[in-house]
Amino acid sequence: MKKIKLLIVDDSALIRQMLTQIFNESGDIEVVGTASDPIIARDKIKALNPDVLTLDVEMPRMDGLTFLRNLMRLRPMPVVMISTLTEKGAEVTLEALALGAVDFVAKPKADVSHSLRAYADEIVAKIRMAAQAKVKALETNKASSSATSVVNDSANLGMKRHFKTTHKIIAVGSSTGGTEAVKQLVKNLPRTAPAIVISQHLPLAFSASFAKHVDEASEMTACVANDGQLILPGHIYIAPGDQHLLVVRDGARYACHLNDGPPVNRHKPSVDVLFRSIAENVGSNAIGVMLTGMGADGARCMLEMRDAGAINIVQDEASSVVWGMPGEAYKLGAAHHVLSLDKIAEKILALVD
């Protein structure tokens, strides 16, 4: 079996040592080298030709984002960010995902030996996934595109459209690659669009930053969902990173309900939890959208949505970073439409017109 060749880039010798031990015990991942800063990493990439890179953000001589921007422009390859789960870390990590990083994991802590096995399982799974992910060269103007240009794109697509119904709900599930896919989706929807509810696999520390990025990308108004919050057209409600989001009936209206139950499919929030609530409480008034993501969360309950009368769209394999969740939904027969990411908003507009 051909092993995945991995290069670890981190200025902490302890972190490099911990990660090397984790990966060398995996059986199918070989740490071919480590680097304490991007300058060393640049030379080792040329010499060792790794399949995947793990990358810290704060390093000497060149920060991780600058290095990542250059790497994705000149020598695109799968990168998994090693992030701090703080508000500042969230902003930097979301920018790294916008630059082309495949995914991220939390920085391991030296004092969490009791949970190291779960951490090892997570990071090994993400490196395996990254080795199979689709990586594209960074467009020179992509990373610096302003919120204004995104809003203008939205306006050009259809701000003059008016919908015959306002009680539709668009339910979106996403994971790996989803932070950028969600932004791409909503930038092409006008402020008159039906409400959108989103379950994206992210930690709590990232929720507010992600909601801000989504809000800036769309004519619609995005926020982290609150318990009991009424669901209104033109608004986007994002599950907080430590609770499940459900849609419930409030008389003739819909409302958000947050649930602090255990993880489902190892995730909290879980797409299955959101989609089941949509099947039970929204039915044929719903449009389901499954975007790029690793695993199978949401696939089973997307089929329940279809059985309840919802129309479902899954992102196609070619445009997905990882065709896990959408692929599983497709295999179960949950999808009515399989579309590239840039065609999904157009299909939604057609379905609600």
Active site residues: 175, 201, 297
Q: What is the DSSP letter of 115?
A: G
Amino acid letter, 61: R
**Three-class SS of residue 240?**
coil
Q: Which of 148, 228, 221, 143 is nearest to 180 (CA)?
A: 143
d(CA 211, CA 231): 16
Kindly give the pairing relationship between strand 103-106 and strand 286-290: unpaired
Query: What are the respective helix, strand and coil percentages of the chain, to the nearest 5?
Result: 40, 20, 35
Please report, for residues 35, 142, 180, the alpha-carbon distance to residue 290 in angstroms, rounded to integers and kept in the order given: 37, 24, 14
* Cα-to-chain-centroid distance, residue 86: 17
- The answer to whether the CB of 258 falls within 8 A of the CB of 204 is no
